[in-house]
Amino acid sequence: MPELYKRNPNTNCLICKKLIYRRPIEIARGKVFCSIVCYGISQRKEIPCIVCGKLILTGLNKKTCSRACSNKNRKGIKYHLGRPKDKVKSQQALKLKLLRERGIICERCGYSKYEILQIHHKNRDINNNNIDNLELICPNCHYEEHLLEKSWLNKKKNGLKTLHQINSLQRGGMAREV
């Protein structure tokens, strides 16, 4: 069935410049497009590749358009000169030195699985790796050292005022008020 009424084009698409008809109110609002494809093209935000200048989408957080441009951009960057201070390697070296000097047991309780022993800084300064400041202890002793003072059991809980009272209750005796 042929169209009974054909409108005359009154504007151009901003992208493809095709003649189109739009209501006057749509033209007054600003940008007009012939299709959703042209609208999509108008919404693209692109930046140039920092090497070759080709346009790339900004939403991808890229600086270069391809692996070749990326390699050209990285040319001359010197990675891993020497070996930067590696915390894991230095901690392993400290542990091995302590194991050789002090033996393969926990210095507090005598636990003998040396694989899980941990390094403890006596003055709690992790940058002070002086051998006199280090202690080789098991995870249980390490936990007691750092976390026991922050335990919720040390705070007033259900009328019990101290950890000493909890321990005496477990032994069967009644704790006296402090």
pLDDT in tens, 113-150: 989 999 999 998 888 888 899 999 999 999 988 887 77
Question: 21 in a domain, yes or no?
Answer: yes
Q: Within a domain: residue 154?
A: no
Same domain? 98 vs 60: no
Q: What is the pLDDT of residues 8-56, one digit of tens each?
A: 889 999 999 999 999 999 999 888 999 999 999 888 888 999 999 999 9
More confident residue, 60 or 122: 122
Whether residues 18 and 61 share a domain: the answer is: yes
Q: Specify the number of domains making up the chain.
A: 2
* Number of DSSP helices (H) and strands (E) in the chain, helices first: 6, 6
- 33, burial (CB in 10 Å: exposed 0-12, middle 13-18, buried 19+): buried
What pLDDT does residue 58 have? 83
SS3 139: helix
Residue 115 inside a domain? The answer is yes
Q: Are residues 23 and 59 in the same domain?
A: yes
pLDDT score, position 178: 43
pLDDT above 60 (res 105): yes
Which has the higher per-residue pLDDT, 108 or 87? 108
Across the chain, mean pLDDT equals: 83
Q: Which of 50, 102, 93, 56 is nearest to 75 (CA)?
A: 50
Q: Residues of the chain with pLDDT > 70: what percent?
A: 79
Look at residue 175 and tell me whether its pLDDT is greater than 60.
no
Confidence of residue 153 (pLDDT cuts 50, 70, 90): confident
Please indicate, yes or no, if residue 128 is contained in any of the structural domains: yes
pTM score, whole prediction: 0.41
Residue 50 lies in domain: 11-65
Residue 135 lies in a domain: yes
User: Do 52 and 100 belong together in one domain?
Assistant: no
Instruction: Indicate whether 137 belongs to any domain.
Output: yes
Q: Is the pLDDT of residue 169 over 90?
A: no
Question: Residue 145: in which H helix or E strand, if any?
Answer: helix 139-147
Whether 3 shows a pLDDT value over 70: the answer reads no
